[in-house]
Structure formats: C-alpha cells, structure tokens
Amino acid sequence: MMNFQACLNKITTLKLCRCHLVQSQQVATIMSDALPRITVPHKMVERLEKMKQKQQETMKKKSVKKDNPIIISCKRKQFNHYKGQLYTNWSPQSLTSHGWKNKRNKGDYFTINAFQSNPAFRNKTEDGMTFKNMELDDSIQQGLGDMGLEYPTNIQEMSIPKILSGSNVLCAAETGCGKTLAYLVPIAHHLKRYIDRYGRHGTPNKPCSVIITPSRELADQIYDVACRLTAHTGLLVHSVCGGRGTKKLIYGNNEKLMDILIATPDVLRKLTGSKQYDVSGVHHIVLDEGDSLLDDSFIDVTRTLLNRLKVQGDSITNIGSESDLALPCGQVCIVGATLPRALNDTIGDVIPVDTLEVVRTNSLHRIMPHISQKFIRLGPSEKPVWLVKQAKSAVKNKIPTLIFCNKTDTSYFVHHILRDSGIETNIINGKVPEKIRQGKFEEFQRGEGPNILVCTDIASRGLDT
C-alpha cells in the first residue's frame, strides 16, 4: 500500500513538472517574439557602425575624386579639394598651408583653379535684359553701342534703375564687374534729358555731377569711360588731379563749363575751398572706391568735401513736369568692391546712412571663380631669385605682369633688382613724381613699353587690367 502511494505521488510530481516546463517554454517563446535577441555585444555593434560609416565616407570621397574636377590642387596631394567634396567631423583637421611659418615648409604650394565663368555677366538667355530695355536716352544707347555693349552686367542691371529713381545707393560688387558704368549711365541719362529740356546753366566751374576717386590713374580711367559714353550727348566731362598744376588751377584763370567733374580728393578740397569751383548746385555725388575714401587715409578730406556738398536726405526732387526730367538734389552713390564698415561712425553726421539703398551681388567678398591663383611658400632669400625667374618668363612669353608690393620702399627694391637682371620695368607708387608717373599705366594697358609693372596698392583699386 505504501509503495502504491509513493508511486502515485511521483506521478503527480512529474505531471506538475511537465506543466511547469510547458508553461516556461511558452513564456520563453512569447518573450523571444517581443524582445530582440542579443547575439553581439553592444560596444562591438557601435564599433561596427563606425567602421561602416567610415567606409561609406571613404567610398564617397573616392567617387568625388574620380568624377569631379580639382578646385584646389596642392603639392601634397592628400590636401587636394574636389568640386562637390564635403567634409564631416571637422575633417580635414589641418589645411595645406598649416605650418607655413616653419622654414621646413619652403617650396610648398597650392593652386586655386578657375572652375566657372565670370559671375559678373548674366546668362543672356535668362530674361533677355538689354540696355535698350532700360529706356535710356538714344545718345546714351549710341555711346554704349560704340563701346560694344548690349547686355548689362548683374550690378548694372541692379544699380541703374535705383540711381535713375534718385535713391541714395551703396553699390558693392566684385572687382571687374562694371561698377563705373553702373553709375555713369544713369547720371549721363539724367543730365542729358534735363539739359535738353531746360538748357545748360552756363556758369563756369560749376559741375552738376562730381565723382571723387582716390588715385589719379583711376580718375583718368573714369574720365576715358565717361568721354566714350557721352560722345554723342554733348555733355561736358572734366577731370582734375593732384600734382598736375594745382596752383595754376587755384590762382590762374581756368574757367570751364562742365557737367561731370572727376577729381581726386585733395585737389577738389583746395579748389572748392578757394571758391574756384562752385559745388552748390551738384545733383550727383559719387565716391568711387568708397571703402578707400572712407578709411583713415582719406576720411578727413572726404568728410570736408561731403560737408561742402549738399547731400539729400530723401528721394528724388522733381524739377520738370515729366518723370524722366526729374533731377536728384545731392544724390549720393558710394561704390566699391567691399562694403564699408561703421558708416554711422565715419560719415553718419554728413550723410543720412539710413537712406542708402544697398545693392550688392552674390559674389561680393568671394574669390573670383574664373581666375586661377597660386600660393607659394618661399623663404626671404628665395623671393628675389624666384621673382626674376618669373619676370624673365613673362617677358619671353609677352605676358603683361603686375608685381604688387606692400610698401613703397619694397617696390623700389624690386624695381632695381629686375633692372639689374636686365628686365625692363615701369614703377608706380605714391612717391613717383607725377610727370614720370603720368601715362605709365595707360601704356601698360595698351601693351606699349615694358610689360612688367611694379606697383603698390595704388594700382590695385578699380583699375582695368
């Protein structure tokens, strides 16, 4: 009897264990369906993900290098940059010029290659905008045609309507985009229409428009462009520059009728201060290379001139009954390749800065994508040898070359080194006497005389090369 009872208990225990085992298996199955099974350690998963991401970035870079052109080519090829190449995680960690202060990097170089056309010129198929569409005076259209110009550049298309409307304008755009015509065209149009209707005032030495520019060479260039533009208008363009008989202008009898006056700051200050020139009726005031005229070198003279010129604080002043015969009264245009800083601090009490309408292009303060630039790390003793070598190559291949120096004394040093090496050069800096300096840049532009011109930054502002 006891044995039978023991067997019954064992059977009952086995059944309970079996039920528990089945329930455990069912629970395990449910849990396996609900939760992921951990087969690889979490840290290893993270490491594998990083390796996968790095491999994808490497493949992306390889595909970019294979398909796209080089934008920046370097002596050390690992620093090459390709069009469309992107960088993540702050890579590359250093630039090709990193460490150039160390003498061990002598001979290193990199080149920023040209990678697109000049951004100053519009796509002619975009909207078909031409100078004729701007409804300019026929004589202005004829002058533009003689210059071979039909389509305006980006800055001209943006600026001309603003200036025609009589607004004060701050025009900032990349170098070589046609800023001179951007203000000359609307000024000439205004004056031509007004004089045709009401006649010229007939007072000598009393200009209607004044263009102030920091250098004589730039004044000569603007004068040449203005004369060509107004060749069929009958407008009178005049230019005065310092170092060209200023005393005779002040004390002599030099009365001339003029509609547009182009001048350097100091000589204009003297002529207006001595009452030789009357600027009380000026309608247009242009500061060409305004960032230079408003820096420490010229700001005092510029402020004096602006105080003598009556700058408008609002929009156009209507004189005629027709809208296109309206003349601005003291309209100011500040033009340059950079945006001047802190205008309120420098000229805020002379010009109502809040009335300036800013006109700028998308390429302002960017490198020129259509021009190649090469940067070379040289030691002080290597520079003269390298410079002579490059100059001889330029002369041999008849390549016009400008050599810029940061100081006047350095420009003389370079000039003499090249002369001693048998290379004929011309030099332009602030200390060169005007009689020697005059016409040198024009000769260089025309391809006459030496094709090597050594200069300071006096030739870097606005000149057409």
Q: What is the largest CA-CA distance in the chain?
A: 153
Pair (84, 164) in one structural domain: no
Q: Are residues 446 and 317 in the same domain?
A: no
Q: What is the DSSP string of 377-405?
A: ---TTTHHHHHHHHHHHHHHTT--EEEE-
Do residues 170 and 334 touch, judged by C-beta distance below 8 A? yes
SS3 category, 442: helix
Whether 315 maps to a domain, the answer reads yes
Do 317 and 431 lie in one domain? The reply is no
* Residue 17 within any structural domain of the chain: no
- Is there a domain that residue 31 lies in? no
Please tell me the distance from the alpha carbon of residue 346 to that of residue 461, in angstroms, as a whole number: 21
Q: Is residue 47 part of a domain?
A: no
Residue 215: inside a domain? yes
Asked whether residue 143 falls in the same domain as residue 90, the answer is: no
The tens-digit pLDDT sequence of the chain (465 residues) is: 445 555 555 555 555 555 554 455 554 554 455 555 666 677 777 888 888 887 777 666 555 555 788 999 999 988 898 888 877 666 656 788 888 988 888 999 999 999 888 888 876 655 678 899 898 999 999 999 999 999 999 999 999 999 999 999 999 998 888 999 999 999 999 999 999 998 888 889 999 999 999 988 899 999 999 999 999 999 999 999 877 777 777 777 788 999 999 999 999 999 999 999 999 889 999 999 998 999 888 999 999 999 888 776 654 444 333 444 556 678 999 999 888 878 888 888 888 888 899 999 888 888 888 889 999 999 989 999 999 999 999 999 999 999 999 999 999 999 999 999 999 999 988 888 877 777 788 888 888 889 999 998 877 766 666
Contacts for 142 with CB less than 8 Å, ≥ 6 apart? 231, 232
Q: What is the DSSP string of 175-213?
A: TTS-HHHHHHHHHHHHHHHHHHHH-----TT--SEEEE-
Count helices and strands in the chain by DSSP H and E runs: 15, 14
Q: Helix axis angle, 216-229 relative to 138-146, nearest 10°?
A: 120
Q: What are the phi and psi torsion angles at 81 (to 5°)?
A: -120, 135
Number of domains in the chain: 3
The enclosing H or E element of 74 equals strand 70-74
> By residue range, what is the domain housing residue 395?
379-459
> What is the Cα–Cα distance from 456 to 411, expressed in whole angstroms?
7
